[in-house]
A and B are shown apart, each in its own frame.
Chain A
Amino acid sequence: MAYSLNVCHLYGDLMNTYGDLGNILVLKYLAAKMGVELTSEVVSLDQKFDPDKYDIIVFGGGQDFEQSIISKDIQSKKQALTNFIEDDGSVVAICGGYQLLGHYYIGANGEKLMGIGALDHYTDKQKDHRFIGNVVIENEETGEKYHGFENHQGITFLGKGERPLGKVLEGHGNNGQDKTEGAIYKNVYCTYFHGPILARNNDIAKHVLMNALKRKYPNADLEKQAELKVGATF
């Protein structure tokens, strides 16, 4: 194939609670239709993240226990991840992954656990309550609607330079207060949508692939890739 993209499945062996792997399967599937060969590898505990090796990071959601361990380990990758993001690298971050890209979140026992602060949001915790159920949002820039399922106790508040992935039409979103859901910063897409967000919302998958291709092949004619018709499962 004419083009290739390499995906870092960040902590893919630990942050995988809700079908997160589906995102990589779908990226691979759509990339093939675009004539792009997509490969992926897991980068996990005690391993170095090399920003030059990857075009896309997929960072899934995990369980409280796993996430608290990663909160410590990810500090060693903080600079490299921040560089990747500032250098317009594409990222899909879900639930716990979303929280860890921000400043901090509150753990299962009320303790404050650090993120890497690459994005300017922070996450508090609802007391004895979770947002659980179907969510529908609208990307206010493109008008695209996204459907998903949320299940989170954390409530996230966006910071400077971030805009929401969408405005909440149904469900709770980031915090149940300001009608925002998820975050977009540069080429980073964050969300509380469970696991396979790209499977249900091919539009986002296409944005991620196109952004990554444009970055890696700035002089290529990607018109054919941009024309790929994608669907949705809602």
Chain B
Amino acid sequence: MSLKSSIATAAGKSSYWFLHTFFKGGSSLPGKITKRLDPDILATLGRDYDVIVITGTNGKTLTTALTVQVLKEKYDNILTNPTGSNMEQGIITTFLHAPKSKGKRPLAVLEVDEANVIMVTKYIKPKAFVFTNIFRDQMDRYGEIYTTYNKILNGVALAPNATIIANGDAPIFHSKQLPNPIVYYGFDNQPDGDIKATPNTDGVLCPQCQHVLHYHFISYSNLGKYFCPNCGYERPELNFALNKITDLTPKSSKFEIDGEPIKIEIGGVYNIYNALAAYSVGRFMGVSPAQTRKAFEQGKSIFGRQEEINVDGKLVTLILVKNPVGLNQVIDMISTDKDPFTFIGLLNANYADGIDTSWIWDGDFERLPKMNIKQFITGGERYKDITYRLQVAGVDPSKHLVEPDLDKVVEMIPKAPTKKVYILSTYTAMLHVRKVFAAKGFIKGGMG
């Protein structure tokens, strides 16, 4: 390590210690300090690691956590970044407070924001990239799906030898010729038909001839076994495939990958993709299907995002929503609940939520009136938008309460007419609610 790097590392480490000790924080500032002192610090810090970069719009965090869990079956020393620290400074901080590794070359499994892939590959040549999916998300930040994909590819171009492990069901990931070796995972659990995606689905034009794609089947959104009846463009051969979905509930999914029966303690078809991605990384790194099954069984706590919170006897599930694809998956998931429930929708429009709320109109709220929902509550800074969205969706106004103030929304929960309560919330509204829950002792502090 050069003197400059040593000084920068020491400064970063001590600032981490200081922030961590006195403010219980410190995710990006130490990285910022270190980078200021030595702009190329990531090259020094990452030199001794085999790095796997996980990127894409939805599912980065859980895929990263699951991948770590799977790789632990074979590797002892794995570094990973905590939720939200997926930009350059957060990644530097992650390396800064890594324990000193002994023996074998350690692994780093990093969740990386799409536009920050290049900030990593400038200094580190990863062993593999994982592409989960690209959907519209926080469009006010990055623009459109092709813009986002190009940002990722700009980073990948600096690491042409890294293997790409991509979601084969996403048409966009087969659209460009790349020098990298590519491995595809996807769904193969339905018989072939011939259908089109619903009108408000993004990314349905054939990348080769620009006709509207057809599908043999769709798993969700624009993901599935696509083909172009005009030019013959089609989904690539899958290296790793989900063969069967056995059972879905809001809290668990049973399925088979390459014939291996697997259970995960979380609902939602999108989470099966996350598990499939982690499985594929595992296979790429030499972890067997049986080991992966065991890893998922033992790693139940990883699925903590959808924990059930007991609020004065009510069973509350708090779910983050941030874009229409994710939202529709959550709506799909709660529809599998067999018990009646209360639905709470909270909408804020701060930077971390996405300052444009247009996307709620692509959410399939029209399904809600058909579910066994006894009461609806809407709130948050943009309560007028989410309230009107539910009205237009046909929600019965006599069952619908409106409360802008999130503190008061929390107070309404114990009075809900059902035992089960689902809260769908944007990011800052979720932080707020969790803070209130923590203050009242329903959960331990933080994002969990």
Binary interface encoding of chain A residues 77-97 relative to chain B, with 1 for a CB under 8 A from any of its CBs, else 0: 000000000000000000000
* CB <8 Å contact, B200 and A21: yes
A195 within 8 A of B: yes
Binary interface encoding of chain A residues 22-38 relative to chain B, with 1 for a CB under 8 A from any of its CBs, else 0: 10011001000000000
Chain A contact residues (Cβ within 8 angstroms of B): what range?
35 or more
B103 within 8 A of A: no
In the complex, which of the residues A9, A22, A133, A149 contacts B199, with contact meaning CB atoms closer than 8 Å? A9
A162 within 8 A of B: no
A233 within 8 A of B: yes
- Please give, as numbers and ranges, the residues of chain A lying within 8 Å of B200 by CB-CB distance: 12, 16, 20-21
In the complex, which of the residues A19, A25, A63, A132 contacts B358, with contact meaning CB atoms closer than 8 Å? A19
**Count, chain B residues at interface, CB 8 A:** 38
Stretch at the interface among A49-57, A64-72, A98-106, A110-118: A64-72
In the complex, which of the residues B196, B212, B355, B362 contacts A21, with contact meaning CB atoms closer than 8 Å? B362
CA distance A200 to B143 in the complex (A): 22
* CB <8 Å contact, B205 and A19: no
CA distance A26 to B202 in the complex (A): 21
A204 within 8 A of B: no
* CB <8 Å contact, B359 and A63: no
* CB <8 Å contact, A63 and B145: yes
B136 within 8 A of A: yes
Binary interface encoding of chain A residues 130-147 relative to chain B, with 1 for a CB under 8 A from any of its CBs, else 0: 101110000000000000
In the complex, which of the residues B210, B212, B358 contacts A22, with contact meaning CB atoms closer than 8 Å? B358
* CB <8 Å contact, B199 and A16: yes
B144 within 8 A of A: yes
CA distance A196 to B392 in the complex (A): 12
- Please give, as numbers and ranges, the residues of chain B lying within 8 Å of A64 by CB-CB distance: 144, 146-147
8 Å CB interface, B186-210 against A:
196-197, 199-202, 204-205, 210
In the complex, which of the residues A21, A25, A149 contacts B356, with contact meaning CB atoms closer than 8 Å? A149
* CB <8 Å contact, A196 and B205: no
With A13-B199, A63-B145, A199-B392 already in contact, the answer to whether A19 and B355 are too (CB < 8 A) is no
* CB <8 Å contact, B211 and A194: no
CA distance A234 to B383 in the complex (A): 10
**Smallest CB-CB separation from A63: which chain B residue?**
B144
* CB <8 Å contact, A199 and B199: no
A17 within 8 A of B: yes
A151 within 8 A of B: yes
- Please give, as numbers and ranges, the residues of chain B lying within 8 Å of A9 by CB-CB distance: 199
In the complex, which of the residues A45, A151, A233 contacts B385, with contact meaning CB atoms closer than 8 Å? A233
With A44-B212, A69-B210 already in contact, the answer to whether A19 and B392 are too (CB < 8 A) is no
B422 within 8 A of A: no
* CB <8 Å contact, B212 and A65: no
CA distance A200 to B119 in the complex (A): 39
- Please give, as numbers and ranges, the residues of chain A lying within 8 Å of B201 by CB-CB distance: 13, 16
- Please give, as numbers and ranges, the residues of chain B lying within 8 Å of A13 by CB-CB distance: 196-197, 199, 201, 204, 212
**Smallest CB-CB separation from A26: which chain B residue?**
B392
Binary interface encoding of chain B residues 116-145 relative to chain A, with 1 for a CB under 8 A from any of its CBs, else 0: 000000000000000000001001100111
In the complex, which of the residues B136, B146, B355 contacts A134, with contact meaning CB atoms closer than 8 Å? B355
CA distance A17 to B145 in the complex (A): 10
**Smallest CB-CB separation from B383: which chain A residue?**
A233
CA distance A20 to B359 in the complex (A): 9
A169 within 8 A of B: no
In the complex, which of the residues B143, B196, B205, B387 contacts A66, with contact meaning CB atoms closer than 8 Å? B205
Measured CB to CB, the residues of B under 8 A from A are 136, 139-140, 143-147, 196-197, 199-202, 204-205, 210-212, 324, 355-362, 366, 382, 384-385, 387-389, 391-393
Apart from A66-B205, A69-B205, 17 more pairs, CB < 8 Å: A13-B212, A14-B204, A16-B199, A17-B144, A20-B200, A22-B358, A22-B389, A25-B393, A63-B145, A65-B144, A65-B205, A132-B140, A133-B355, A149-B140, A231-B388, A233-B384, A233-B385
Between-chain CB contacts (< 8 Å), 5 pairs: A19-B324, A22-B362, A22-B392, A25-B393, A45-B212
